[in-house]
């Protein structure tokens, strides 16, 4: 590891998904939640990795109270169904070198001799859509979610992904033909070991496909709220190329995805043959945008500070109009913003969220109450901060009648009223 430059300090932060009950709020002062830590990022000049300096213990973040539900929005359900169907068609059902059949017919009831592993399976929106004639295996450290996929009949290892676990799964099931992970690799602090563990369990002809938020999108959108305890790294293609190659994996293709404010899906294998043109394109754009230059990260830090001042000005102005300001979506992203900017219930009256597990709780650190949209979307509201801005089009369309005489406040790519 080479020289590292500390470039962004988002101050004392709570665990982004640690919503508090009424009882907990009664005995905790704002900013004194259990597990508060300093959220700071650095850029490594040698590896190009943008990562957190000190991550809170993983057991504090991912356990049986983890509330983030991948199946919580229709958009994400569709997203996982689509990629599962594509993987079924391109890898699971594919018969290599068969002159008559290209894929296994749908009407066949025979078992398919393929092993598919998902790392970080949450409550199963991806793995449950993989053809059940194949051998499906899941890894999920949060007990509550592991139980759900186990109950679906998918053997789920309720553990954190690492070398030891990959050996354990290998001895139980053999090598994997497909390994898939969504919004998971960026959570792992020893990322080199995590990739090594994937390489170890992967069949020589197998594929490892993973998707995570994209550093270039975060820099371009100044979406610093995508940074919180769980997001140890934000990947660029430059950093991934080095990391993956060091464990014998090669990027074969890259897709850009709109989800989570801009993500990348990386197709890798043990072969450096079949290299798609997309890789050159991504590398070129990243170089043009200065992704390898320390000054880029220094400027990002300054821009984030300016955004805080702008947002606070907007909120203050809206508050002076005398109507309620609420936040739409109790997201991890809004935890970062509210704690970094010092926005509490004196500014945001409450947050609405459709997730039942978050309702009647309080947002981490700043303790803003969370209620259901049915209760919270009332006429006394003057402006709505869009905490779930990654669903902006969907939400603003869904709420167009309700919001007709109200203002939306959006923080990306810069704080503004729309």
- C-beta of 252 vs 331, nearer to ligand TYD: 331
Query: Which residue among 128, 263, 390, 411 contacts ligand TYD (CB under 6 A)?
Result: 390
Which residue carries 């709780």 as its tokens? 361
Q: Show the tokens assigned to 375.
A: 């209760």
Kindly state the smallest distance separating residue 368's Cβ from ligand TYD, in Å. Answer: 14
Using CB positions, name the residue nearest to ligand TYD: 329
Contact 225, 336 (CB under 8 A): yes
- C-beta of 180 vs 391, nearer to ligand TYD: 391
Task: Find, among 289, 50, 168, the residue nearest to 157 by Cα.
Answer: 168
The one segment of 81-89, 94-102, 167-175, 387-395 that binds ligand TYD by CB under 6 A: 387-395
Kindly state the smallest distance separating residue 151's Cβ from ligand TYD, in Å. Answer: 23
Which residue carries 């300016």 as its tokens? 306
Kindly state the smallest distance separating residue 358's Cβ from ligand TYD, in Å. Answer: 6
Q: Which residues pair with 378 in a beta bridge?
A: none
DSSP string, 331-383: -HHHHHHHHHHT--TTT--EEE-S-GGGTTSB-TTT--BEE-HHHH--TTEEE
- C-beta of 167 vs 394, nearer to ligand TYD: 394
Subset of 128-147 contacting ligand TYD (CB under 6 A): none
Subset of 309-368 contacting ligand TYD (CB under 6 A): 329-333, 353-355, 358
Subset of 259-288 contacting ligand TYD (CB under 6 A): none
Angstrom distances, CA of residue 414 to CA of 220, 308, 338: 10, 10, 15
Contact 139, 165 (CB under 8 A): yes
Question: What residue spans of 250-379 are helical by DSSP H?
Answer: 277-288, 294-319, 332-341, 373-376
Number of Cβ atoms within 10 Å of the Cβ of 230: 22
Contact 375, 280 (CB under 8 A): no
Kindly state the smallest distance separating residue 395's Cβ from ligand TYD, in Å. Answer: 5
- C-beta of 125 vs 206, nearer to ligand TYD: 125
Note whether 194 binds ligand TYD by CB under 6 A. no
Q: Which residues pair with 370 in a beta bridge?
A: 351
- C-beta of 177 vs 349, nearer to ligand TYD: 349
DSSP string, 104-141: --TT--SPP--EEEEES-TTSTTGGGS-TTSEEEEE-S
Q: Which residues pair with 137 in a beta bridge?
A: 117
Q: Show the tokens assigned to 334.
A: 């809004």
Which residue carries 């499906």 as its tokens? 136
Note whether 18 binds ligand TYD by CB under 6 A. no
Subset of 42-101 contacting ligand TYD (CB under 6 A): 68, 72-73
Kindly state the smallest distance separating residue 43's Cβ from ligand TYD, in Å. Answer: 23
Kindly state the smallest distance separating residue 372's Cβ from ligand TYD, in Å. Answer: 9
DSSP-based three-state secondary structure for 204: strand
Interface with ligand TYD (CB under 6 A), residue total: 17
Q: Which residues pair with 136 in a beta bridge?
A: 116
Which residue carries 């995570």 as its tokens? 212
Query: Which residue among 52, 185, 264, 388 contacts ligand TYD (CB under 6 A)?
Result: 388
Q: Show the tokens assigned to 405.
A: 């005489």
Q: Show the tokens assigned to 333.
A: 């992203």
- C-beta of 324 vs 358, nearer to ligand TYD: 358
Kindly state the smallest distance separating residue 363's Cβ from ligand TYD, in Å. Answer: 11
Task: Find, among 273, 284, 180, 275, the residue nearest to 236 by Cα.
Answer: 284
Note whether 391 binds ligand TYD by CB under 6 A. yes
Kindly state the smallest distance separating residue 247's Cβ from ligand TYD, in Å. Answer: 28
- C-beta of 91 vs 391, nearer to ligand TYD: 391
Q: Show the tokens assigned to 44.
A: 């490594």
Kindly state the smallest distance separating residue 229's Cβ from ligand TYD, in Å. Answer: 11
DSSP-based three-state secondary structure for 309: helix
Kindly state the smallest distance separating residue 49's Cβ from ligand TYD, in Å. Answer: 21
- C-beta of 269 vs 335, nearer to ligand TYD: 335
How many residues are present in the chain?
418
Query: Which residue among 116, 395, 409, 412 contacts ligand TYD (CB under 6 A)?
Result: 395
Kindly state the smallest distance separating residue 347's Cβ from ligand TYD, in Å. Answer: 19
Angstrom distances, CA of residue 73 to CA of 60, 256, 315: 25, 20, 28
Binding site for ligand TYD (CB under 6 A): 68, 72-73, 329-333, 353-355, 358, 388, 390-391, 394-395
């Amino acid at each position: 590891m080479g020289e590292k430059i500390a470039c962004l300090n988002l101050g004392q932060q709570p665990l982004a998904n640690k919503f508090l009950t009424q009882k907990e709020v009664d005995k905790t002062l704002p900013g004194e939640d259990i597990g508060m830590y300093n959220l700071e990022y650095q850029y490594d000049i040698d590896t190009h990795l943008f990562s957190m300096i000190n991550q809170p213990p993983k057991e504090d973040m991912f356990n049986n109270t983890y509330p983030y539900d991948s199946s919580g929005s229709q958009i994400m359900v569709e997203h996982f169904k689509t990629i599962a169907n594509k993987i079924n068609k391109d890898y699971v059902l594919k018969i290599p070198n068969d002159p008559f059949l290209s894929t296994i017919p749908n009407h066949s009831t025979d078992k398919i001799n393929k092993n598919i592993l998902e790392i970080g399976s949450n409550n199963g929106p991806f793995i449950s859509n993989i053809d059940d004639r194949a051998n499906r295996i899941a890894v999920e450290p949060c007990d509550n979610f592991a139980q759900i996929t186990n109950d679906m009949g998918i053997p789920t290892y309720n553990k954190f992904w690492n070398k030891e676990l990959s050996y354990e799964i290998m001895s139980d099931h053999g090598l994997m033909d497909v390994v898939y992970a969504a919004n998971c690799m960026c959570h792992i602090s020893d990322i080199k070991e995590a990739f090594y563990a994937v390489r170890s369990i992967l069949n020589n002809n197998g594929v490892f496909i993973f998707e995570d938020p994209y550093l270039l999108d975060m820099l371009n959108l100044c979406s610093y709220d995508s940074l919180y305890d769980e997001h140890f790294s934000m990947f660029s293609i430059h950093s991934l190329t080095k990391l993956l190659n060091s464990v014998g994996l090669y990027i074969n293709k890259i897709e850009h995805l709109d989800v989570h404010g801009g993500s990348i899906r990386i197709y890798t294998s043990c072969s450096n043959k079949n290299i798609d043109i997309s890789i050159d394109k991504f590398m070129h754009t990243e170089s043009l945008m200065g992704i390898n230059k320390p000054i880029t990260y220094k400027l990002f830090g300054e821009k984030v500070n300016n955004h805080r001042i702008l947002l606070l000005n907007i909120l203050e102005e809206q508050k002076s109009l005398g109507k309620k300001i609420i936040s739409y979506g109790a997201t991890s992203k809004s935890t970062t913003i509210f704690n970094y900017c010092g926005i509490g219930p004196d500014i945001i009256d409450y947050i609405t969220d459709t997730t039942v597990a978050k309702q009647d709780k309080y947002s981490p650190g700043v303790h803003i109450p969370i209620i259901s949209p049915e209760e919270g979307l009332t006429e006394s509201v003057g402006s709505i901060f869009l905490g779930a801005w990654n669903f902006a089009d969907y939400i603003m369309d869904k709420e167009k009648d309700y919001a007709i005489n109200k203002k939306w406040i959006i923080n990306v790519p810069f704080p503004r009223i729309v």
